Chain A
Amino acid sequence: VTTVRSIAVVDLDCPSGTAPPAGADARTVLRELLAAAAADARMRLGDLRMEDRGDGVLLAPEPEVQADLLAEELVIALDARLHAQSSDLRARVALDQGPVACDDDSWVGVPVSTAFRLVNAPVLHDVLDRADRARVVVAVSDSFFRAVVRGRLDPSVFSETTVADDDGLAAMTAWVRVPGYSAPPGVTSPERKPVGTARPDPDPDRAGATINIGYVGGDVVGRDKYVGG
Chain B
Amino acid sequence: VSVSAPSPPPAGPTPAAPKPPGGVLPPRPTPGPQPAPSAAPPNASATTPPSGTTPPATDPPPSAPETSADGVAGAPEQAEGGPSLQESGQGAARAAAQRNARHIIDGDLVGRDKFVFHLDGRRRYALRQLSSMLFDRVKQAFVEPESWTQLRQDFNRRRVVVLQGEPGTGRTAAAVRLLHSAGSEAIYDLDPAVDLALLTEQLDEDRAILPEGAGLLLCQPQRDDTLRGRTLRGIEGVLAPRQRLTLIVGPDARLGDDELMQYVVTLPARPDLRRILERHIEWRLGSHAALRRLLDDEDVAELVAEMLQDVGSCEDATLLASVLCEQAVDGVDHERVRRLMSRRGLDAFDQWFDELPGNDVRSFAVALAVLDGLPYEDVARASTRLARRLASPPRPMAASAGTPPASSTETAPSALTTSPTAGQSSAFRFPRRQLLELTRSAVDDGDVRRPYGRVPAQLVAFRDRSYPRAVIDHVWFEHQVQDAVLEWLVEVADDRSDIVRVQVATTVGVLATGSFHHVLTTVIDRWAGSRSTFHREAAAYALQVPGSDPRLEAAVRQLVRVWLGDIEGIRRRATAARALGLLVAADVEPIAEASTWFDMLAADATWTLQQEIGAAFCDLLLADSARFAPAVLERLVRWLDDPRRADTARLVFLLVAHDLVTELTTEGTAPTTWPTLLHLAKDARDQRATLVQLWCRVLGDGPHADIAEAVLSGWADRAERDADLREAFARFLRMVGAANPRAAVILQRCARIWRGDGEALPLPQVAGLIELVLSS
Q: Do A and B come from one complex?
A: yes
Point out the residues of chain A lying under 8 angstroms from B114, CB to CB.
Answer: 226
Point out the residues of chain B lying under 8 angstroms from A132, CB to CB.
Answer: 287-289
With A199-B373, A225-B110 in contact, do A205 and B676 touch (Cβ < 8 Å)? Answer: no
Contact B286 A204 (CB under 8 A): no
Point out the residues of chain B lying under 8 angstroms from A222, CB to CB.
Answer: 665
Q: Is A198 an interface residue (CB 8 A)?
A: yes
Point out the residues of chain B lying under 8 angstroms from A212, CB to CB.
Answer: 662-664
Point out the residues of chain A lying under 8 angstroms from B680, CB to CB.
Answer: 213
Contact B663 A221 (CB under 8 A): yes
Q: Is A156 an interface residue (CB 8 A)?
A: yes
Contact B663 A198 (CB under 8 A): no
Contact B96 A204 (CB under 8 A): yes
With A183-B139, A195-B132 in contact, do A154 and B373 touch (Cβ < 8 Å)? Answer: no
Distance between B708 CB and nearest chain A CB, rounded to angstroms: 22
With A155-B181, A195-B113, A218-B624 in contact, do A201 and B100 touch (Cβ < 8 Å)? Answer: yes
With A213-B683, A218-B627, A226-B111 in contact, do A199 and B446 touch (Cβ < 8 Å)? Answer: yes
Contact A200 B152 (CB under 8 A): no
Q: Mark B122-166, 1 if CB is under 8 A from A, else 0.
A: 001000011010011011111100000100100000000000000
Cα separation A155 to B287 with both chains bound (whole Å) = 23
Pick the residue among B99, B206, B289 that contacts A220 (CB under 8 A).
B99
Q: Mark A204-225, 1 if CB is under 8 A from B, else 0.
A: 1111111111101111111111
Point out the residues of chain A lying under 8 angstroms from B624, CB to CB.
Answer: 217-219
Contact A196 B279 (CB under 8 A): no
Q: Is B512 an interface residue (CB 8 A)?
A: no
Contact B94 A197 (CB under 8 A): no
With A156-B139, A200-B103 in contact, do A227 and B444 touch (Cβ < 8 Å)? Answer: no
Cα separation A182 to B183 with both chains bound (whole Å) = 16
Distance between A140 CB and nearest chain B CB, rounded to angstroms: 15
Cα separation A218 to B624 with both chains bound (whole Å) = 5
The count of chain B contact residues (Cβ–Cβ below 8 Å) is: 92
Point out the residues of chain A lying under 8 angstroms from B626, CB to CB.
Answer: 213, 216-218
Point out the residues of chain B lying under 8 angstroms from A49, CB to CB.
Answer: none
Q: Mark B201-221, 1 if CB is under 8 A from A, else 0.
A: 010011001100000000000
Q: Is B395 an interface residue (CB 8 A)?
A: no
Pick the residue among B186, B205, B288, B373 that contacts A228 (CB under 8 A).
B205
The count of chain A contact residues (Cβ–Cβ below 8 Å) is: 51
Distance between A213 CB and nearest chain B CB, rounded to angstroms: 5
Q: Is B260 an interface residue (CB 8 A)?
A: no
CB closest chain-A residue, reference B665: A221
Q: Is B454 an interface residue (CB 8 A)?
A: yes
Pick the residue among B103, B119, B140, B499 that contacts A229 (CB under 8 A).
B119
With A182-B139, A192-B139 in contact, do A228 and B209 touch (Cβ < 8 Å)? Answer: yes
Q: Is A150 an interface residue (CB 8 A)?
A: yes
Q: Is B476 an interface residue (CB 8 A)?
A: no
Distance between B536 CB and nearest chain A CB, rounded to angstroms: 19
CB closest chain-B residue, reference A229: B118
Contact A133 B288 (CB under 8 A): yes
Among B96, B180, B499, find the residue whose CB has the most chain A CB atoms closer than 10 A. B96
Q: Is A46 an interface residue (CB 8 A)?
A: no
Cα separation A199 to B132 with both chains bound (whole Å) = 13
Q: Is B317 an interface residue (CB 8 A)?
A: no
Pick the residue among B118, B283, B373, B375 that contacts A200 (CB under 8 A).
B373
Contact B663 A210 (CB under 8 A): yes
Point out the residues of chain A lying under 8 angstroms from B109, CB to CB.
Answer: 198, 200, 223
Cα separation A208 to B624 with both chains bound (whole Å) = 13
Q: Mark A130-148, 1 if CB is under 8 A from B, else 0.
A: 1111000000000000000
Contact B683 A130 (CB under 8 A): no
Contact A217 B627 (CB under 8 A): yes
Point out the residues of chain A lying under 8 angstroms from B660, CB to CB.
Answer: 211
Point out the residues of chain B lying under 8 angstroms from A201, CB to CB.
Answer: 96, 100, 446
Cα separation A222 to B109 with both chains bound (whole Å) = 13
Distance between A107 CB and nearest chain B CB, rounded to angstroms: 31
With A196-B132, A211-B676, A228-B202 in contact, do A204 and B92 touch (Cβ < 8 Å)? Answer: yes
Q: Is B498 an interface residue (CB 8 A)?
A: yes
Point out the residues of chain A lying under 8 angstroms from B442, CB to CB.
Answer: 197
CB closest chain-B residue, reference A200: B100
Cα separation A150 to B130 with both chains bound (whole Å) = 22
Q: Is B449 an interface residue (CB 8 A)?
A: yes
Point out the residues of chain A lying under 8 angstroms from B408, CB to CB.
Answer: none
Q: Is A17 an interface residue (CB 8 A)?
A: no
Point out the residues of chain A lying under 8 angstroms from B209, CB to CB.
Answer: 226, 228
Contact A200 B372 (CB under 8 A): yes
Contact B683 A209 (CB under 8 A): no
Pick the residue among A130, A209, A226 that contacts B663 (CB under 8 A).
A209
Q: Is A191 an interface residue (CB 8 A)?
A: yes
Distance between B132 CB and nearest chain A CB, rounded to angstroms: 4
Q: Mark B361-377, 1 if CB is under 8 A from A, else 0.
A: 00000000000111100
Cα separation A130 to B283 with both chains bound (whole Å) = 10
Contact B664 A221 (CB under 8 A): yes
Q: Is B621 an interface residue (CB 8 A)?
A: yes
Q: Which of B343-351, B458-466, B537-545 contacts A (4 or more CB under 8 A)?
A: B458-466
Contact B375 A202 (CB under 8 A): yes
Cα separation A180 to B101 with both chains bound (whole Å) = 41
Point out the residues of chain A lying under 8 angstroms from B141, CB to CB.
Answer: 182
Point out the residues of chain B lying under 8 angstroms from A205, CB to CB.
Answer: 89, 92-93, 96, 449, 454, 661, 663, 673
Point out the residues of chain A lying under 8 angstroms from B101, CB to CB.
Answer: 200
Q: Is B517 an interface residue (CB 8 A)?
A: no
Q: Is B177 an interface residue (CB 8 A)?
A: yes
Point out the residues of chain B lying under 8 angstroms from A195, CB to CB.
Answer: 113, 129-130, 132, 135, 186, 465
With A216-B626, A221-B665 in contact, do A199 and B152 touch (Cβ < 8 Å)? Answer: no
Q: Is B598 an interface residue (CB 8 A)?
A: no
Cα separation A183 to B142 with both chains bound (whole Å) = 8
Cα separation A214 to B287 with both chains bound (whole Å) = 51
Q: Is A203 an interface residue (CB 8 A)?
A: yes
CB closest chain-A residue, reference B137: A182
Cα separation A131 to B291 with both chains bound (whole Å) = 12
Contact A224 B111 (CB under 8 A): yes
Cα separation A228 to B120 with both chains bound (whole Å) = 13
Contact B139 A209 (CB under 8 A): no
Q: Is B732 an interface residue (CB 8 A)?
A: no
Point out the residues of chain B lying under 8 angstroms from A99, CB to CB.
Answer: none
Pick the residue among B103, B372, B673 that contacts A210 (CB under 8 A).
B673
Distance between A170 CB and nearest chain B CB, rounded to angstroms: 15
Cα separation A182 to B137 with both chains bound (whole Å) = 10
Cα separation A179 to B210 with both chains bound (whole Å) = 33
Q: Mark A76-107, 1 if CB is under 8 A from B, else 0.
A: 00000000000000000000000000000000
Cα separation A182 to B95 with both chains bound (whole Å) = 42
Cα separation A152 to B559 with both chains bound (whole Å) = 60
Q: Is B773 an interface residue (CB 8 A)?
A: no
Q: List 19 A-B contacts (CB under 8 A).
A: A156-B180, A182-B138, A196-B136, A198-B112, A198-B113, A202-B373, A202-B374, A204-B96, A204-B498, A205-B93, A206-B671, A209-B661, A210-B662, A211-B660, A213-B625, A217-B627, A218-B627, A228-B209, A229-B124
Could you tell me which B residues sit within 8 Å of A by CB distance?
A: 89, 92-97, 99-101, 103, 109-119, 124, 129-130, 132, 135-136, 138-143, 149, 152, 177, 180-181, 183, 185-186, 202, 205-206, 209-210, 279, 283, 286-289, 372-375, 442, 444, 446-449, 454, 457, 459, 461, 463, 465, 498-499, 621-627, 629, 660-665, 671, 673, 676, 679-680, 683-684
Could you tell me which A residues sit within 8 Å of B by CB distance?
A: 130-133, 150-151, 154-156, 159, 182-183, 185, 189, 191-192, 194-214, 216-229
Starting from the known contacts A221-B664, A226-B206, 19 additional A-B residue pairs (CB-CB under 8 Å) come to A155-B183, A182-B143, A196-B135, A200-B103, A200-B109, A202-B97, A202-B499, A203-B454, A205-B93, A206-B454, A208-B95, A209-B93, A210-B96, A211-B621, A223-B112, A225-B110, A226-B111, A226-B114, A228-B115
Nearest 3 pairs of A and B residues by beta carbon: A229-B118, A218-B625, A210-B663
